[in-house]
Chains A and B, each alone.
Chain A
Amino acid sequence: DAKTTQPTSMDCAEGRAANLPCNHSTISGNEYVYWYRQIHSQGPQYIIHGLKNNETNEMASLIITEDRKSSTLILPHATLRDTAVYYCIVRVVGYGNKLVFGAGTILRVKS
């Protein structure tokens, strides 16, 4: 699976959009971009995933660049409860594939 690079940490004001970048320059054509988050002392929570088109669900939006070498997770109106570690993971979607977690981005939402 391709390697991802994320900033170590980011701050965001409550109520504003949080934009979390992820670089995956070595991504291959059959690899998806997945985002999970982990609130302190809890298990990771699935947020969203995509292949090449932008995706949106009730939690977030995922913007993938046309060359697919980077992506941005957008939390449109961040709240204090969105403070967490956000993991960007690139992997092939096959039934035997594992999720390999990197260091992630610590997002701190501040009032």
Chain B
Amino acid sequence: GAVVSQHPSWVICKSGTSVKIECRSLDFQATTMFWYRQFPKQSLMLMATSNEGSKATYEQGVEKDKFLINHASLTLSTLTVTSAHPEDSSFYICSARTPRLAGGSSNNEQFFGPGTRLTVL
């Protein structure tokens, strides 16, 4: 399957600082990427949909000014957690959707990155 990477794989930061997480599609171009958050022993929760060249679409209850998403190229989306606090500590996972196949049919599969473990002290 397609490969999606995330960087860093883990990060520890002080309360009040900002943290940037990168999501890259390594062997395909992704016009759409998704950002999820997962707390311990819980399922993944979709935070936002990131579209290349346009503003991200945030899910209800997700603060867009706190979780800044930039999708500046077809292979890179970034999530910046601004003024992080301990309650933002979580496992952040991105996914990228494969492009449409030739002939108009859509493969439309999502491939996930390995996740980034954020700990805010």
Contacts and interface: CB of A to CB of B under 8 A. Distances in A.
Query: For chain B, what secondary structure do more than half of its interface residues adopt (helix, strand, loop), or is it mixed?
Result: strand
Contacts of B112: 36, 43-46
Given A42-B115, A46-B111, A98 B46 contact: yes
Nearest to B46: A98
B27 interface: no
Interface string B79-121: 0000000000001010100001000001011111111010000
Interface in A70-111: 87, 93-95, 97-104
B61 interface: no
Contacts, number: 50
Nearest to A102: B43
Interface in B3-56: 4, 6, 32, 34, 36, 43-46, 49
Given A41-B115, A43-B113, A98 B34 contact: yes
Interface in A4-59: 36, 38, 41-46
Q: Is the interface of A mostly helix, strand, loop or mixed?
A: loop
Nearest to A43: B112
Contacts of A99: 34, 46, 95, 110
Interface of A: 36, 38, 41-46, 87, 93-95, 97-104
Interface of B: 1, 4, 6, 32, 34, 36, 43-46, 49, 91, 93, 95, 100, 106, 108-115, 117
